[in-house]
Amino acid sequence: MADLVGDGFDDSGPISPPSAGDVPEDVAEAVRTLIRWAGDDPSREGLIDTPRRVAKAWREYCAGYGDDPAHHLSRVFEEVGGYDEIVLLKDIPFQSHCEHHMAPIIGKAHIAYLPKDHVVGISKLARVLHGFARRLQVQERLTAEVADCIWENLRPVGVAVVIEATHACMTARGVRTPGVSMVTSRMMGVFRDDERSRKEVLALIGLG
Ligand SMILES: [Zn+2]
């Protein structure tokens, strides 16, 4: 049992968003419409440049649409020195947006797999997460998409994905319950079928 987390995954930063270039007028106008609807005047000085910034920010929030997460798993390493225990990447911070309110989902993910005969660079697991997170999402689907992508492309013995996140649509509006987080998980292969393996991975994640 080993934890190959390492602390050096520094390339989980932004996937370079598609160049926003000049923001199309209809997109800028949509933001102005929303500002008016919210009760403010989009032509006042402080808001003049806001539509362009908002549009560019949304291209970045949703850069995952231009990404094929499976691609990050295409390069594998087969020389693993006989290593056949759980590989866990823990506490990966991420940001997404809920598809119901387009409000931020902020949280952390834990991604584990039990390799069969090859591994990927650990930062790639974070890239898979971000590729799916930088879209309009629901947490349940995000969890499933990350797990399925690793399962199908890496063909490991088991995959476990646990995501804990707070939803601004719940903490900042509606029932306004700050501090509440939601936990979702998807277990595949041995982590689903074998209780001992599931307990082991959950204990490594800190939820056992
Ligand atoms: Zn929502």
User: Could you please report the per-residue DSSP string of 65-109?
Assistant: GG--GGGGGS--B---TT--S-EEEEEEEEEEEETTT--EEEEEE
**Residue 100: active-site member:** yes
* pLDDT number for residue 3: 39
**Residue 98: active-site member:** yes
pTM score, two decimals? Answer: 0.87
Choice among 29, 71, 100, 195 that is catalytic: 100
How far away, in angstroms, is 175 Cα from ligand 1 center?
Answer: 12
Choice among 85, 99, 140, 152 that is catalytic: 99
Could you state, in chain order, the average pLDDT of each consecutive group of 10 residues for the chain (208 residues)?
40 48 90 98 97 96 96 87 88 97 97 92 95 98 98 96 95 82 96 96 90
CA–CA gap between residue 66 and residue 42 (Å, rounded):
30
* pLDDT number for residue 178: 80
Q: Are 25 and 73 spatial neighbours (Cβ–Cβ below 8 Å)?
A: no
How far away, in angstroms, is 97 Cα from ligand 1 center?
Answer: 8
**Residue 167: active-site member:** yes
Q: Which residues surround ligand 1, an ion (CB under 5 A)?
A: 98, 100-101, 169
**Residue 71: active-site member:** no
How many other C-beta atoms can be found within 10 angstroms of the C-beta atom of residue 10?
Answer: 7
- CATH class label, 72-205: alpha beta
